[in-house]
Structure 1
Amino acid sequence: MDLFWEILISALLVIGGFFGLVGSFGLVKLPDPMTRLHAPTKAATLGVGAVLIASMIYFAAFHDDLTLHELMITLFIFLTAPISAHFLAKANMLRNVDRSTLTKPEGDGDWAVFTPLSDTSAEELDEVAEAEDDEAR
């Protein structure tokens, strides 16, 4: 039975290392900030999650010590990565970037951050428009 746990833990570590490598490579090689955002939030998150789950299984199987710290850290990373990715994407769109360089969203609409009254960004857009009007005068 120990062989099964060793193989499972080794497989999770190799999978975690692979996803970490892919996430790091994507962070360096992808062309623009919006596509680079996917590498750490998807691949690297899966890599860290696999390593943490391997650690949890190792201590449960070989040291008879069931710790849930690794599981809590994994859940925390899986919950916070999409939120931080959303904030980074929104900041990227709101800084003075030409909208034509952004990838168009699917469908007929525009990004919600550029649509007035869609969310809290309407106030931010009004502030930017007022600042541009003041500079033009």
Structure 2
Amino acid sequence: MDLTLDLVIDIASGVSFAIGGIFLLIGAIGMIRLPDVWARIHAAGIIDTIGAELIVFGMILQAGLTQTSIKLVLIGLFLFVTSPTATHAVANASFTAGLRPLGLRKNQASDVLGEERNS
């Protein structure tokens, strides 16, 4: 019975590592190929939040119920809170610096920003 439980844990952690690695790979390709800051911020959010969390979850499964798994849970919670916060900070800094999405027309930005229309 113990061998079966170990096998299930190994399979679950392997699946978690594989899916997390796929998300990391897709996000990394997105960081290179996407055209503007806004799309790249989205790719970075995928890497930080989902990819890293799945890999940490796979490590928790491999560690079992030990002090290491408690530390990994704390690391996962830290990533879960700080990654979206950092992504929001970068997006806010980009918006404040005047960067706008590529397809956005000037009259669309004025509705969002409260700027005067030059028509």
How would you bin the TM-score normalised by the shorter chain? 0.7 to 0.9
- Root-mean-square deviation (Å): 2.4
Please name the residue that 1:2 is paired with: 6
Quick check: 1:28 aligned with 2:29?
A: no
From 4, 12, 18, the equivalent of 1:14 is 18
- Hey, which of these two has a bigger chunk of helix by percent? 2
Unpaired runs of at least 5, structure 2: 106-110
**Paired residue total:** 106
State the identity as a percent. Answer: 27
The structure-2 alpha-carbon separation of the partners of 1:28 and 1:100, relative to structure 1 and needing over 3 Å to count, comes to closer
Greater relative contact order, per chain length (Cα 8 Å cut-off, separation 6+): 2
Letter in structure 2 aligned against 1:65: T
Please name the residue that 1:75 is paired with: 77
Quick check: 1:54 aligned with 2:58?
A: yes
The structure-2 alpha-carbon separation of the partners of 1:39 and 1:101, relative to structure 1 and needing over 3 Å to count, comes to closer
Please name the residue that 1:122 is paired with: none
TM, length-normalised to structure 1: 0.67
Structure number, greater radius of gyration: 1
Moved over 6 A (4+): none
From 91, 95, 98, the equivalent of 2:93 is 91
TM, length-normalised to structure 2: 0.76
